[in-house]
């Protein structure tokens, strides 16, 4: 792989698409782009940065365009949803819009430090699925830690798999997202995707990473009824898929 071009790859294909969905992230999006660009300078991959503005009402898109103009050397593209469609929809849309062989989501709130991105992305090509799991996060409330552990235990019990963490933003072949994109509409999409790929016998590795806890303002906390509904949908889908797999021996 080459950071300077796409040697050995089909026309218009790059090694990695980094999708950055964002909703009203004017305070964080340029810092996120800085972090991604800094991480990619340490890696030998050709890449693109695909920012998906998911119906923002603030200056998010304007700031992305300004950043791109100020850094013409960076392969940044902006796609805008006219209305908010949710994280899972942005994730799947990005797979169809991207040109990378591999695909990874980076949240627009700059929650992942450069070192975490480098750790994850450096594993590119070593397995079909790279699954990060978070080391203890400073400042994360005890209730959130307990709920996260319960969620992981439930998904493992219902799916029959043994994964350490389901919400760490996995990296996989972009083709996998287009073929087996999740139906979930919230944060549960990651567990649905990971368990589906494992059902399809994807190879995987799990790696420890460091993240930071960001307390959302303005009612954007992850603890809301929409995400609880999404999680319920995910758990049901994971369980039904396991039942179908055993019933039809597939």
pLDDT of residue 59: 97
pLDDT of residue 6: 39
Q: Is the pTM value of this prediction over 0.95?
A: no
The answer to whether residue 168 sits within a structural domain is yes
The answer to whether residue 1 sits within a structural domain is no
Mean pLDDT over 226-250 rounds to 84
The answer to whether residue 5 sits within a structural domain is no
**Cα 169 to Cα 163: distance, rounded to the nearest angstrom:** 13
The answer to whether residue 35 sits within a structural domain is yes
Residue-wise pLDDT tens digits, 86-145: 899 999 999 999 999 999 999 999 999 999 999 999 999 999 999 999 887 666 678 878
Which value, in Å, is the radius of gyration of the alpha carbons in the chain? 18
Domain containing 226 equals: 14-248
The answer to whether residue 53 sits within a structural domain is yes
> Which residue, 223, 131, 236, is CA-closest to 183?
236
pLDDT of residue 1: 35
Integer distance in angstroms from the first to the last C-alpha of the chain?
A: 35
The answer to whether residue 3 sits within a structural domain is no
Residue-wise pLDDT tens digits, 32-57: 999 999 999 999 999 999 999 999 99
Indicate the pLDDT class of residue 229, thresholds 50, 70 and 90: confident
Indicate the pLDDT class of residue 216, thresholds 50, 70 and 90: low
Number of domain units in the chain = 1
pLDDT of residue 2: 34
**Cα 20 to Cα 70: distance, rounded to the nearest angstrom:** 18
Q: Which range has the worst mean pLDDT, 63-72, 137-146, 199-208?
A: 137-146
Percent of the chain with pLDDT over 70: 88
Q: Residue 203 is part of a domain; what is its CATH number? A: 3.90.550.10
pLDDT of residue 90: 95
């Amino acid at each position: 792989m080459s950071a300077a071009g796409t040697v050995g790859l089909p026309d218009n294909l790059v090694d990695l698409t980094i999708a950055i969905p964002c909703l009203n992230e004017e305070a964080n999006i340029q810092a996120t782009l800085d972090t991604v660009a800094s991480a990619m300078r340490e890696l030998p991959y050709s890449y693109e940065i695909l920012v998906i503005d998911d119906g923002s009402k603030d200056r998010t898109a304007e700031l992305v365009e300004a950043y791109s103009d100020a850094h013409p050397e960076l392969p940044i593209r902006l796609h805008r949803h006219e209305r908010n469609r949710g994280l899972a929809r942005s994730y799947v849309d990005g797979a169809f819009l991207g040109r990378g062989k591999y695909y990874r989501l980076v949240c627009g709130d700059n929650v992942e430090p450069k070192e975490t991105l480098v750790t994850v992305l450096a594993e590119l090509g070593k397995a079909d699925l790279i699954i990060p799991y978070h080391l203890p996060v400073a400042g994360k409330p005890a209730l959130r830690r307990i709920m996260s552990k319960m969620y992981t235990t439930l998904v493992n019990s219902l799916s029959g798999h043994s994964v350490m963490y389901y919400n760490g933003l996995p990296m996989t072949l972009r083709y996998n997202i287009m073929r087996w994109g999740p139906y979930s509409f919230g944060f549960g999409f990651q567990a649905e995707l990971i368990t589906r790929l494992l059902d399809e016998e994807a190879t995987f590795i799990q790696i420890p990473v460091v993240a930071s806890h960001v307390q959302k303002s303005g009612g954007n906390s992850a603890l809301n009824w929409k995400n609880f509904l999404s999680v319920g949908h995910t758990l049901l889908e994971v369980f039904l898929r396991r039942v179908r797999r055993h019933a039809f021996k597939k």
